[in-house]
């Protein structure tokens, strides 16, 4: 594995990295850093969120900066205020041992005067939102003559948030002799337009299309108490009689325990972990490949060499510590064109971990409810009846035994006989699930037992201070909502984009957060503001021309 040392980064930077605990470069860093240290060629880098893109461009930029000069030499554009602040903080930490180094973050919704002052004090790197940067350029408060490098960070997000015009403006205002770097998680068409127009023969770097293999996979999760994990695992197995999957545990100890319990409860299960000898491991894997084991309980490390194509399920008995590991786990199913299911069993305080996994691997989890005893029994019953119907009867072999059997069961009529046969297999489930509990944990505010019906969700109508005049449209509004709440599951109801402002309905639970977050965003450099719409007092929005002119021209979506 390579180290940062091999790139030839300055001792000041290496020391800072050591302090930050960065031991090895991430894949995108390993590709981008040597390239950017050596060359002034434009560059396009594609990598998922959380793969270390900031340092991938930040380290070489800092290394190449002339800290004795007090003028902006690099500018980084990023879609939101939070990201700008984060990037500026990250760059400061990489340059912690460079006393003359300065970075300034500029973004909407904050005092422009203070930002101008900070710029005047002299900074070598500017991190800004396209809106505010465009604004300051327009006012001639930002001089970009000395800019040698420009970075478009999260270019796809900037475009989907409607910053295209600002980007056009900024890119054309910067000296042509600059190096342009574009970092993005995806490569939509609009980006290609930008790269064609503003980049010269860019080198393209891309690290692992991690998601492509998992597109066939449905990602589900259950929220339960940690002590109920095993019960949930059993129910997953019981409601999927034909399950064929891997149960991932974090530790060897858990792996052994879970496998032992499953076997004790008569499941086709076994364990695969590092405490087994090589020949024991080979033997377990072989039985699993042949389908003799339905549930293989394994640690991540032990399952690494295992290649099986038709798994129905991957079960995360607990979520891995590293978000990336989840992608490896879930990628074990949904192979070779088949559909697969990856289930995470989490407890109520693990949802942020889940969101992190979503971000890193670009997937969306769906919360589902742990099935109750009745659902499981029904499923098992049908599965049993199906088996009875389809079983191959070997007439010749059983013929000699039949007369005695007929005689013994003579007293049962057809209906009774069926009941008896089914009960033989089924009583175990009926008994086990007779008084089964509901193990789901409900978030009292958001979900109830009937949570499946999002239809009756209480909605709040919000007033937003921009409309179609600022090129807002329902699509942009939706991405703004997702961005502001950092959540793409929130229900948005009716949207009415008017010329100077917009009304939209949002799940009431998120209304407050929406109103709180929205001032961190801007459109066209215009600071945003939202409030709960008071339908009875339309005049209170100070939107002079709406009720006068537009009353009959409402755009409804």
Interface with Mg ion (CB under 5 A): 53
Residue 198 contacts residue 181 (beta carbons within 8 Å): no
Q: Which of 10, 27, 41, 50 binds ligand ADP (CB under 6 A)?
A: 50
Question: Using the rule CB under 6 A, is 49 a contact of ligand ADP?
Answer: yes
In the complex, the smallest distance separating the C-beta of residue 54 from Mg ion, rounded to whole angstroms, is 5
- State the minimum distance, in angstroms, from the CB of residue 51 to ligand ADP: 4
Which long-range contacts does 114-118 make (Cβ < 8 Å, 24+ apart)? 116/141
Decide: is 134 part of the binding site for ligand ADP (CB under 6 A).
no
Alpha helices of 316-350 — where are they, by DSSP H?
323-330
Distance in Å, CB of 53 to ligand ADP, minimum = 3
131 is in the binding site of which of ligand ADP, Mg ion, none (Cβ under 5 to 8 A by kind)?
Answer: none
Q: If 0-12 CB within 10 Å is exposed, 13-18 middle and 19+ buried, where does residue 382 land? A: exposed
| 3-class SS of residue 472 | coil
Please give the residues from 54 up to 83 whose contact with ligand ADP meets the rule CB under 6 A. Answer: 54-55
Joined tokens for residue 200: 């010269």
Are the CB atoms for 314 and 193 separated by under 8 Å? no
Min dist. Cβ of residue 97 to Mg ion (A)? 23
Name the token pair of 196.
Answer: 């064609």
CB of 153 to Mg ion, least distance (A): 6
What's the min distance (Å) between Cβ of 324 and ligand ADP?
A: 11
- For residue 128, the partner it binds in Mg ion, ligand ADP, none, with Cβ less than 5 to 8 A by kind, is none
For residues 403 and 423, what is the distance between their CA atoms, to the nearest angstrom?
A: 23
Q: Does 53 bind ligand ADP (CB under 6 A)?
A: yes
- What are the angstrom distances between the C-alpha of 187 and each of 32, 44, 47? 17, 10, 10
94 binds ligand ADP (CB under 6 A): no
| Stretch touching ligand ADP by CB under 6 A, among 23-31, 212-220, 271-279, 381-389 | 23-31
Is there binding between residue 519 and ligand ADP (CB under 6 A)?
A: no
Residue 240: name its binding partner from Mg ion, ligand ADP, none (Cβ under 5 to 8 Å by kind).
none
Measured distance CA(442)–CA(431) in Å, rounded: 26
Kindly tell me which residue out of 7, 16, 26, 505 binds ligand ADP, with binding defined by CB under 6 A: 26
Determine the Cα–Cα distance for residues 348 and 223; give it in Å rounded to an integer: 6
Using the rule CB under 6 A, is 327 a contact of ligand ADP? Answer: no
The reply to whether 162 sits near ligand ADP by the rule CB under 6 A is no
Shortest approach of ligand ADP to residue 54 CB, angstroms? 3
Name the one range near ligand ADP by CB under 6 A: 21-29, 59-67, 227-235, 331-339.
Answer: 21-29
Can you tell me which of 7, 16, 32, 52 binds ligand ADP, judged by CB under 6 A? 52
Q: Which does 129 bind (CB under 5 to 8 A by kind): Mg ion, ligand ADP, none?
A: none
Distance in Å, CB of 40 to Mg ion, minimum? 23
Identify what 333 binds: Mg ion, ligand ADP, none; CB under 5 to 8 Å per kind: none
We find the least distance from the C-beta atom of residue 158 to Mg ion, in angstroms, to be 12
Compute how many residues bind ligand ADP; rule: CB under 6 A: 12
Half-sphere exposure of 11 (CA within 13 A, CB side): 0
Tokens in use for 409? Answer: 């069961």
Q: How far apart are CA 314 and CA 330, in angstroms?
A: 6
- DSSP assignment of 236-253: HHHH-TT--EEEEESSHH
Tokens representing 68 are 């004795």
User: Closest CB to Mg ion among 53 and 329?
Assistant: 53
Residue 162, token pair as written in the block: 């409607």
- Considering CB distances under 5 to 8 angstroms, the limit depending on partner class, which of Mg ion, ligand ADP, none binds residue 519? none
Between 80 and 440, name the residue whose CB sits nearer to ligand ADP. 80
Helices (H), 331-372: 351-361
Give 297's strand partners: 247, 271
Closest Cα to residue 329, out of 359, 347, 346, 306? Answer: 306
Which residues of the shown chain bind ligand ADP in the complex (CB under 6 A)?
Answer: 22, 25-26, 29, 47, 49-55
């Amino acid at each position: 594995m390579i180290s940062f040392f091999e790139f030839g980064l300055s001792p000041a930077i290496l020391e800072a990295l050591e302090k930050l605990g960065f031991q090895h470069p991430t894949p995108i860093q390993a590709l981008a850093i040597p390239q950017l240290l050596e060359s002034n060629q434009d560059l396009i880098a594609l990598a998922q969120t959380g793969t270390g893109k900031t340092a991938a461009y930040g380290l070489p930029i800092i290394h190449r900066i002339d800290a004795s000069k007090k003028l902006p030499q690099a500018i980084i554009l990023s879609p939101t205020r939070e990201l700008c602040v984060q990037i500026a903080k990250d760059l400061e930490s990489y340059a912690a041992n460079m006393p003359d180094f300065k970075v300034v973050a500029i973004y909407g919704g904050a005092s422009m005067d203070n930002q101008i002052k900070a710029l005047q004090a002299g900074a070598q790197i500017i991190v800004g939102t396209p809106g505010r940067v465009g604004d300051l350029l327009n006012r001639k408060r930002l001089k970009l003559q000395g800019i040698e490098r420009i970075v478009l960070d999260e270019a796809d997000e900037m475009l989907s948030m409607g910053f295209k015009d600002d980007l056009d403006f900024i890119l054309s205002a910067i000296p042509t002799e600059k190096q342009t770097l574009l970092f993005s998680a995806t490569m939509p068409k609009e980006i290609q337009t930008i790269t064609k127009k503003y980049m010269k023969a860019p080198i393209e770097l891309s690290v692992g299309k991690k998601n492509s293999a998992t597109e066939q996979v449905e990602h589900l999760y259950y929220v339960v108490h940690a002590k109920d994990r095993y019960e949930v695992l059993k129910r997953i197995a019981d409601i999927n009689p034909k399950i064929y999957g891997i149960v991932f545990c974090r530790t060897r100890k858990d792996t052994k325990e879970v496998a032992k319990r499953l076997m004790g409860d008569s499941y086709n299960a076994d364990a695969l972990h590092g405490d087994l000898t090589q020949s024991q491991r080979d033997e377990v894997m072989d039985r699993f490949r042949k389908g003799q084991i339905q549930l293989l309980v394994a640690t991540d490390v032990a399952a690494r060499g295992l290649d099986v194509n038709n798994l129905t399920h991957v079960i995360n008995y607990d979520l891995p510590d590293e978000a990336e590991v989840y992608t490896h786990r879930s990628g074990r199913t949904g192979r070779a064109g088949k559909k697969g299911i990856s289930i995470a069993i989490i407890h109520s305080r693990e949802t942020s971990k889940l969101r992190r996994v979503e971000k890193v691997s670009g997937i969306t989890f769906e919360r589902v409810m742990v099935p109750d005893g009745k659902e499981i029994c029904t499923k098992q019953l049908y599965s049993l009846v199906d088996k009875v119907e389809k079983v191959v009867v070997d007439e010749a072999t059983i013929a000699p035994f039949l007369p005695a059997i007929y005689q013994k069961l003579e007293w049962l009529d057809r209906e009774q006989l069926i009941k008896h046969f089914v009960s033989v297999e089924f009583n175990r489930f009926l008994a086990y699930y007779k008084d089964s509990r509901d193990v789901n944990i409900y978030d009292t505010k958001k979900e109830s037992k009937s949570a499946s019906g999002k239809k009756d969700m209480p909605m709040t109508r919000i007033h937003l201070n921009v409309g179609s005049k600022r090129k807002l449209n329902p699509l942009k509004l939706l991405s703004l909502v997702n961005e502001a709440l950092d959540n793409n599951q929130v229900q948005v109801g009716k949207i009415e984009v008017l010329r100077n402002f917009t009304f939209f309905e949002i799940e009431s639970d998120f209304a407050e957060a929406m109103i709180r977050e929205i001032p961190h965003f801007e459109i066209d450099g215009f600071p945003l503001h939202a409030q709960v719409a008071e339908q009875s007092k339309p005049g209170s929005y100070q939107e002079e021309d709406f009720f006068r002119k537009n009353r009959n021209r409402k755009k409804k979506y």
